[in-house]
């Protein structure tokens, strides 16, 4: 099935560092979502973006909806150990109802 491309695939960072990751698609989306998944849990919604060019923050997280509508970016500032997990982007499609196509994930590991 279709999946969006996320990069980097994984990253190790030091506590306190800023993190950047992105998600690209060959298709246009009208909505982008970012989720975080902890081991043994389902994904939890972090940020939703509804408009091209939109920049939205949620605490230390900032996400942007690319102007081409084919990409999105997530930044985490001043990372802490609990930021460890897998981050997924998801693009929304509509075919009578809404469904989400997920990215391949970025695995984040924070070194204390």
Partner 1 sequence: DAGVTQSPTHLIKTRGQQVTLRCSPKSGHDTVSWYQQALGQGPQFIFQYYEEEERQRGNFPDRFSGHQFPNYSSELNVNALLLGDSALYLCASSLGDGQYGYTFGSGTRLTVV
Q: Please identify which residue in 21, 43, 63, 85 interacts with partner 1, judged by CB under 8 A.
A: 43
Q: Please identify which residue in 1, 14, 26, 82 interacts with partner 1, judged by CB under 8 A.
A: 1
Structure tokens at 26: 């060959």
Coil, strand or helix: which one is 81? Answer: helix
Question: How near is the Cβ of 34 to partner 1 at its closest, in Å?
Answer: 10
Q: Please identify which residue in 3, 27, 57, 58 interacts with partner 1, judged by CB under 8 A.
A: 3
Q: What is the DSSP string of 25-77?
A: -SS--S-EEEEEE-TTS--EEEEEE-STT-EEEETTEEEEE-TTSSEEEEEE-
Structure tokens at 30: 């009208």
Residues 58-97 that bind partner 1 (CB under 8 A): 88, 90, 92, 95-97
Which residues of this protein are in contact with partner 1, per CB under 8 A? 1, 3-4, 31, 33, 35, 40-45, 48, 88, 90, 92, 95-105
């Amino acid at each position: 099935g279709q999946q969006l491309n996320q990069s980097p695939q994984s990253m190790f960072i030091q506590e306190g560092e800023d993190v950047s990751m992105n998600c690209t698609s060959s298709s246009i989306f009208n909505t982008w979502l970012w989720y975080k998944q902890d081991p043994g849990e389902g994904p939890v919604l972090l940020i939703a973006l509804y408009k091209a060019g939109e920049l939205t923050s949620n605490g230390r997280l900032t996400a942007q909806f690319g102007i081409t509508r084919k990409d999105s970016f997530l930044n985490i500032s001043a990372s802490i150990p609990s930021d460890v997990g897998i981050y997924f982007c998801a693009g929304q499609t509509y075919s009578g109802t809404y469904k989400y196509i997920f990215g391949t994930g970025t695995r984040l590991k924070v070194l204390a």
